[in-house]
Every structure is written in structure tokens, then in C-alpha cells.
């Protein structure tokens, strides 16, 4: 599906929005306004933006704790994202979830899961739900390279093949599980090779910094699954420019390495593509950046002005059953 100018501008807008939300969140964190953990998506914007842009509405997305990118891509407002980071009642999870637990099931986004690898069997179960009800949706399950070394991963991936479930296993290989490099934690550096052991077709996208390549690879994988051929495993190479979470001194990698990757900034790549191919002008893109700047400013104002959840709501979502 060829993208029109307005589509490109929208994708560019989403990537810039993620970048600005994350940059401002880092400031809010340092100002003590965001608590807990804050895992930034800076550097990986092309991955989630590319994925969400090629999914169909019936395709579910579930991801790990580095979830702000997907949240914004699926259309959760910057207001609801930042309000959640500030723990406000107006947050997307009503201030109960925080940075790692954002979801909007109306937008077919199922979180935001913070136990490494644990959402893979859950994703398999969602895909089972669609298969059981003869729906043609695919469950897109995103996880990091670090998640592929834990037992949950293997149980979930194995089950998906045993039951031929419509699930896309999408490994975002940002090359570090917290501060431990892939080659120090995984028996194979080509993580997609792990799918070989489960008889699942697999591939690796070497350039996950280029949104056009992400779209192409994910689109092909989704077509494969939707045609009834069962699960597919796609590894996407990417890089997080920031530490694992706020307060990470990053002793595990050299500054040169970070600088090298920053030169392939996904937003810069897309900017050059759009302007170079004369899809839009630099002025068009500048306008988007200004609009995003305003949107994020307003979101922060909204979040800061929003009420905290009342103490009388503490037990509100304990059980779904009505007493």
C-alpha cells in the first residue's frame, strides 16, 4: 500500500511526537514529577511507528514496559500518556499503571507489561482467542532481545507453533538487556534463529532505523500470518539512544558506539527520505515539529493540572465482578 503525502506526514508526526514526549518526560522525571521507572523509546521510534502503521484495525498489539511509543502510535493522546506518567486520574490507566502499564483496548493495544517475557504466553492466548472465534486478526507481540533468554519466551513461542496461532513475534533487538550486551546473554546473536528450533519461519531486519524498511518487513510478516500459515518471527535491529531507564550511568557501552548509532537517527533518516524524494518540503516538516511542540506543551499543562486519583477510589478496580 503506497503512502500518500499526508500519510508520510502523519508517520513523521508520530515519530517526532514520541521523541518530544520522551525528551520532556525525562525532564519531568528529573524534576521529580514522574516516579518509579521511566524507560525511554528514543532511537527506536521507527520500529513501533512502522509496525502500527501497517497493522489492520483487528490486529492486536501487546508490548513490554518500553511502551510509550506504541501508546502514542495507536492514538492515545499525549495528554493521557503524560498524565499517566504523572500518576493522574486522567492518565490512560487512571494513574494505576504508570510508565510501564499503558493500554487502550478500544485501540486494540493491550499493554504495557513489565515482567520480562511474561506477556508472550499471554499474547499466544490472545491469538488463540481470535483463532477460536474465527476472527482474522493477528496478535503482534513486541519484546526486547533480553526477553528471549527467559523460559516464558520458549513456552509461548512453542505453543504458538503447536497450535498454529496467528501471532507475530516481533523482537526489538536494541542490543542490550538492561546493561548486558546480547552476546553476553544469548547463546545466539542472531536472535531470530531461536525460532528455527520451533519450526517457525523467521527473518531479521538489519535496518530497523528506517521506517520504510520496518513497514515492508512487518507487512510481509502479517500477510504470511493472515494467510493462515501460523506464527512468524521477525527480529528488528534497533538501538536505544538513552540508558535502559532514567538513572542508568551507561558504563556498559562506549560513547563512540552511541554516537555512531545517533548518526542513523530514525527521524533524521525519515526526514532525508521525505525531503530527498520531494514528498514534502522541509517547511512542511518544520510545521509538524512546531505543532508537536505545542501539543506536548499542552499535554504537560493538562497533566499537571489534572487531579490525582482520590483515596476513595483505592479499591475501585480490584475485581471486575460486581458484588
Partner 1 sequence: MAIITMRQAISDALWEEMERDPKVFIMGQEVGVWGGTYAVTKGFLDHFGEKRVRDTPIAESAIVGAGIGASMVGLRPVSEIMTINFAFVAMDYIVNEAPKMHTMFGGQMSVPLVIRTAGGGGRQLGATHSQTPDAIFAHFPGLKVVSPGTPADAKGLLKAAIRDNDPVLFIEHAAMYQVRGEVPEGDYTTPIGVSKVQREGDAVTIVTYCKGLQLSMAAADQLSAEGIEVEIVDLRSLRPLDMGPALESFKKTNRAVIVEEGWPSYGVGAEVATRLYEAAFDYADAPIKRVAQKEVPLPYNAALEQFALPQVEHVVAAVKEVL
Contact residues for partner 1, defined by CB under 8 A: 60, 91-97, 101, 103-105, 110-113, 115, 118, 120-130, 132-133, 151-152, 155-156, 158-159, 162-163, 316-321
CA distance 172 to 45: 11
| Nearest 10 degrees: Cα torsion 225, 189, 44, 48 | 10
CA distance 48 to 53: 8
CA distance 162 to 150: 19
Q: Which three cell numbers stand for residue 187?
A: 547463546
Q: Which three cell numbers stand for residue 213?
A: 524498511
Q: Is the CB of 94 or the CB of 253 nearer to partner 1?
A: 94
Nearest distance from C-beta of residue 39 to partner 1, angstroms: 16
Nearest distance from C-beta of residue 108 to partner 1, angstroms: 10
Q: Is the CB of 227 or the CB of 317 nearer to partner 1?
A: 317
Q: Is the CB of 127 or the CB of 267 nearer to partner 1?
A: 127
Q: Is the CB of 119 or the CB of 271 nearer to partner 1?
A: 119
Q: Which three cell numbers stand for residue 161?
A: 507453533
Q: Is the CB of 45 or the CB of 130 nearer to partner 1?
A: 130
Give the helix/strand (H/E) hosting 236. strand 232-237
Nearest distance from C-beta of residue 124 to partner 1, angstroms: 5
Is 2 buried (19+), middle (13-18) or exposed (0-12) by CB count in 10 A?
exposed
Q: Is the CB of 26 or the CB of 118 nearer to partner 1?
A: 118
Nearest distance from C-beta of residue 314 to partner 1, angstroms: 10
Q: Is the CB of 95 or the CB of 266 nearer to partner 1?
A: 95
Nearest distance from C-beta of residue 119 to partner 1, angstroms: 8
Nearest to 246 by CA among 80, 27, 15, 45: 27
CA distance 162 to 141: 17
Contact of 85 with 98, CB cutoff 8 Å: yes
Contact of 238 with 224, CB cutoff 8 Å: no
Q: Is the CB of 50 or the CB of 230 nearer to partner 1?
A: 230
Nearest distance from C-beta of residue 139 to partner 1, angstroms: 8
Q: Which three cell numbers stand for residue 277?
A: 524524494
Strands (E), 174-215: 176-177, 180-181, 202-205
Nearest distance from C-beta of residue 300 to partner 1, angstroms: 21
Contact of 246 with 29, CB cutoff 8 Å: yes
Nearest distance from C-beta of residue 90 to partner 1, angstroms: 10
Amino acid at each position: 500500500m503506497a503512502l500518500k503525502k499526508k500519510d508520510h506526514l502523519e508517520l513523521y508526526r508520530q515519530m517526532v511526537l514520541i521523541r518530544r514526549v520522551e525528551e520532556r518526560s525525562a525532564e519531568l522525571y528529573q524534576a521529580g514529577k514522574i516516579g518509579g521507572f521511566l524507560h525511554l523509546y528514543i532511537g527506536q521510534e521507527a520500529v513501533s511507528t512502522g509496525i502500527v502503521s501497517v497493522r489492520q484495525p483487528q490486529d492486536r498489539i501487546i508490548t513490554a514496559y518500553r511502551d510509550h511509543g506504541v501508546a502514542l502510535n495507536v492514538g492515545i493522546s499525549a495528554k493521557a500518556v503524560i498524565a499517566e506518567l504523572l500518576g493522574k486520574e486522567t492518565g490512560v490507566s487512571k494513574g494505576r499503571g504508570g510508565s510501564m502499564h499503558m493500554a487502550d483496548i478500544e485501540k486494540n493495544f493491550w499493554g504495557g507489561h513489565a515482567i520480562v517475557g511474561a506477556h508472550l504466553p499471554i499474547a499466544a492466548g490472545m491469538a488463540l482467542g481470535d483463532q477460536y472465534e474465527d476472527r482474522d486478526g493477528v496478535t503482534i507481540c513486541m519484546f526486547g532481545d533480553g526477553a528471549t533468554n527467559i523460559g516464558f519466551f520458549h513456552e509461548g513461542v512453542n505453543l504458538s507453533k503447536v497450535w498454529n496461532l496467528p501471532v507475530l513475534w516481533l523482537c526489538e533487538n536494541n542490543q542490550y538487556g538492561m546493561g548486558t550486551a546480547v552476546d553476553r546473554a544469548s547463546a545466539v546473536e542472531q536472535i531470530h534463529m531461536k525460532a528455527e528450533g520451533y519450526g517457525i519461519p523467521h527473518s531479521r531486519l538489519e535496518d530497523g532505523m528506517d521506517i520504510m524498511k520496518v513497514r515492508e518487513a512487518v507487512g510481509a510478516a502479517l500477510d504470511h500470518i493472515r494467510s493462515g500459515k501460523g506464527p512468524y518471527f521477525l527480529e528488528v535491529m534497533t538501538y536505544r539512544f538513552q540508558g535502559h531507564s532514567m538513572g542508568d550511568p551507561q558504563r556498559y557501552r562506549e560513547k563512540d558506539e552511541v554516537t555512531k548509532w545517533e548518526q542513523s537517527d530514525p527521524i533524521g533518516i525519515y526526514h532525508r527520505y521525505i525531503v530527498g524524494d520531494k514528498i514534502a518540503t522541509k517547511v512542511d516538516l518544520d510545521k509538524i515539529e512546531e505543532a508537536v511542540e505545542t501539543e506536548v506543551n499542552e499535554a504537560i499543562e493538562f497533566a499537571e493540572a489534572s487531579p490525582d486519583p482520590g483515596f476513595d477510589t483505592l479499591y475501585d478496580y480490584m475485581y471486575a465482578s460486581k458484588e
